[in-house]
Amino acid sequence: MTAGAATRQEGPLALICGGGSLPLTVANAAAARGRKVVLLLLRGVADPALAEHYPHHWVYVGQGGKLRALLRAEGCRDVVFIGTLVRPAFRQMRFDLWALLKVPTLVAAFRGGDDHLLSGVARMFEREGFQLIGAHEVAPDILMPEGALGAAHPSERDREDIALGLDYLNATGRFDIGQAVVVAGRRVLAVEAAEGTDLMLQRIVDMRSNGRLRTPVGTGVLVKAPKPGQDRRFDLPAIGPRTVEGVTRAGLGGLAVAAGSSIVAEPEKLVVEADRAKVFVVGVPTPAQG
Amino acid sequence: MTAGAATRQEGPLALICGGGSLPLTVANAAAARGRKVVLLLLRGVADPALAEHYPHHWVYVGQGGKLRALLRAEGCRDVVFIGTLVRPAFRQMRFDLWALLKVPTLVAAFRGGDDHLLSGVARMFEREGFQLIGAHEVAPDILMPEGALGAAHPSERDREDIALGLDYLNATGRFDIGQAVVVAGRRVLAVEAAEGTDLMLQRIVDMRSNGRLRTPVGTGVLVKAPKPGQDRRFDLPAIGPRTVEGVTRAGLGGLAVAAGSSIVAEPEKLVVEADRAKVFVVGVPTPAQG
């Protein structure tokens, strides 16, 4: 399917941009491969600095009709959803007529977990004749490779913690919650649900300072992996320099992410950051999906 | 086994007391059944107010030899571990000779999760001829019954959230982490690992105030259940007035705990608190252990 999608890539590529630094990384990678790029920036969510680099339009979350018209006017058939999108606040949303007509679909999508929201939106666009593709298909070089990215490597104990973390994520994937855990000394110390990875890492900092956690500094691993059965076209786990910062602040030994199905934002900066902090960043084989 | 243990209950009962209000509840319940009670209070952990009510001795965590001598001097063969015990700080520990001789066992117990720690310690005591019994065996009236404790009852939607929470806890039981989740709108919002239930509930408060969570106030359930295969002699989930306070502060609709295998501390106070806050407190059948 990846190969099929690749052969169908033609005309300008539309990136519907949420928050974070990933949209620019993906835009640059696609542009470097000779693809014309148009950005559709979600108001209140996308980084305004993105507007400096590529042709763009601002849209509110909920303006499905406007989005559709813009995509058609720009001649884009291939669409990538990229960047973070926590459930938007109502004041950051404007529902146009097209979106309102789709309300039953939207409400159904909202009622489930995040995956349902995204796949519901995806289906709406596909029914309109657009082709939803994954960021990794237009920019395969942003995928995490197997092995260590920087100078540090996980120890044998770290590898045990990584295996336990992957096992946990695999066991809970069907619940459609977060995609990350912190494991140290063969103990799951924190599980990400709705709070996001940054806040979960902050919890490790807090537990260290209130004495609840006595794992030595420099041990423990942040483990991230896609949910089993996750639609990889718009919700791959992503890491970047900020993830490394969070891992360092939490006093962990490093971070492990599923190779081939996680995205690395700003890899050069990430490696500099990891080497300075002496934490490892390692891509590990994705576990069997169960 | 419960019946067998009950017939062997004779002589004074020793309660090795961690933190919280449960030790007093259990001591009172056992004393009300005519059992003589002796408290072994863990320094820096047990509530000093306990010392007013029953014959007692203070011991440091780690003074296994002293504990053993005290139990023998008091003629206690039946021992109950009760109350909270987060991994103690080294300054709150004193290792006596007996404990030092047991260091390999202790270290092995510490390296796994909480269950390993507790069952390792239990085995050490059983090898010395003591009988470790569960708080619910000496005070069955402290167990959560099935059904609602106060005036409020869960709605049909709450029951769906409760079922999802129990399903999650059952799926993750083998990882030996926390025993609680928050579920709202059929979404797992928070998972307890090393941080404890109070801090997990605080996370819901934080996510509400930073806009990450948009679940309406008054919806959502705290679900607590024992881990599958958990040794019920010393680590049953417990709720009390403080749990209800936390649930209320988090803006949830109520809390559900496994009936027959969860302990209720200060039930009268809990009901008053729940009825005032209009939150439900319900005992639900323990799910099939898988």
**DSSP sequence for B42-83:** ETTTS-GGGGGTS-EEEE-BT-HHHHHHHHHHTT--EEEEES
Q: What percent of chain B has pLDDT over 90?
A: 43
Q: What pLDDT does residue B3 have?
A: 41
Nearest CA-CA distance, residue A186 and chain B, Å: 6
Taking residues B139-155, report their average pLDDT.
Answer: 92
Cβ pair A189:B193 closer than 8 A: yes
CB-based contacts of A156: which residues, under 8 Å, 6+ apart?
none
Q: What pLDDT does residue B113 have?
A: 44
Q: What is the mean pLDDT of chain B?
A: 82
A to B CB pairs, distance under 8 Å: 99
Cβ pair B207:A214 closer than 8 A: no
More confident residue, A180 or A235: A180
Nearest CA-CA distance, residue A87 and chain B, Å: 7
Q: What is the rounded CA–CA span in Å between residue B141 and residue B57?
A: 26
More confident residue, A235 or A207: A207
Taking residues B195-208, report their average pLDDT.
Answer: 91
Cβ pair A175:B193 closer than 8 A: no
Cβ pair B89:A203 closer than 8 A: no
**Of A134-143, A274-283, B87-96, the least confident:** B87-96
pTM higher than 0.95: no
Q: Which residue of chain A has the CA closest to B195?
A: A207
Nearest CA-CA distance, residue A288 and chain B, Å: 17
Taking residues B253-258, report their average pLDDT.
Answer: 96
Taking residues A208-215, report their average pLDDT.
Answer: 81
What residues of A are in contact with residue B192 (Cβ under 8 Å)? 191
Q: What pLDDT does residue B96 have?
A: 60
Q: What pLDDT does residue A64 have?
A: 78
In the chain, the amino acid numbered A8 is: R
Taking residues A38-66, report their average pLDDT.
Answer: 88
More confident residue, A138 or A283: A283
**Do B17 and B82 touch, CB atoms closer than 8 A?**
yes
Neighbours of A108 (CB within 10 A): 12
Q: Is the pLDDT of residue B257 over 90?
A: yes
Q: What pLDDT does residue A286 have?
A: 74
pLDDT-based confidence at residue A3 (cuts at 50, 70, 90): very low
Nearest to B190 among A111, A167, A195 (CB): A195
Q: What pLDDT does residue A235 have?
A: 65
What residues of B are in contact with residue A211 (Cβ under 8 Å)? 89
Neighbours of B167 (CB within 10 A): 18
Q: Is the pLDDT of residue B244 over 60?
A: yes
Q: Is the pLDDT of residue A4 over 50?
A: no
Closest among A219, A221, A223, A220 to A257, alpha carbons compared? A223
More confident residue, A49 or B92: A49
Cβ pair A177:B187 closer than 8 A: yes
Backbone phi and psi for residue A168, each to the nearest 5 degrees, phi listed first: -60, -50
Q: What pLDDT does residue B112 have?
A: 43
What residues of B are in contact with residue A188 (Cβ under 8 Å)? 113, 175-177, 193-194
Angle at B95 between CA B94 and CA B96, to 5 degrees: 115
Q: State pLDDT tens for residues B32-73.
A: 989 999 999 988 888 999 999 899 999 887 777 888 899 999
**How long is chain A?**
290
Cβ pair A111:B87 closer than 8 A: no
Q: What are the C-alpha distances in Å from B204 to residues A31, A214, B207, B215?
A: 41, 25, 5, 10
Angle at A116 between CA A112 and CA A121, to 5 degrees: 130
Exposure string for A232-241, b = 16+ CB within 10 A, e = fewer: bbbbbbbbbb
pLDDT-based confidence at residue B271 (cuts at 50, 70, 90): very high
What residues of A are in contact with residue B164 (Cβ under 8 Å)? 175
Q: Which residue of chain B has the CA closest to A203?
A: B195
pLDDT-based confidence at residue A36 (cuts at 50, 70, 90): very high
Q: What is the rounded CA–CA span in Å between residue B148 and residue A172?
A: 29
Q: Which residue of chain B has the CA closest to A108?
A: B185
Residue-range domains of chain B with CATH = 2-140 (3.40.50.20), 143-284 (3.40.140.80)
Cβ pair A168:B175 closer than 8 A: yes
Q: Is the pLDDT of residue B4 over 50?
A: no
What residues of B are in contact with residue A187 (Cβ under 8 Å)? 112-113, 176-177, 194
Nearest CA-CA distance, residue B70 and chain A, Å: 29
What residues of A are in contact with residue B86 (Cβ under 8 Å)? 212
* DSSP assignment letter at A33: T
Q: What pLDDT does residue A96 have?
A: 60
Q: What is the rounded CA–CA span in Å between residue A115 and residue A290?
A: 17
B198, containing H or E segment: helix B197-209
Q: Say what the ipTM of the complex is.
A: 0.72
Q: Is the pLDDT of residue A281 over 80?
A: yes
Q: What pLDDT does residue B215 have?
A: 82
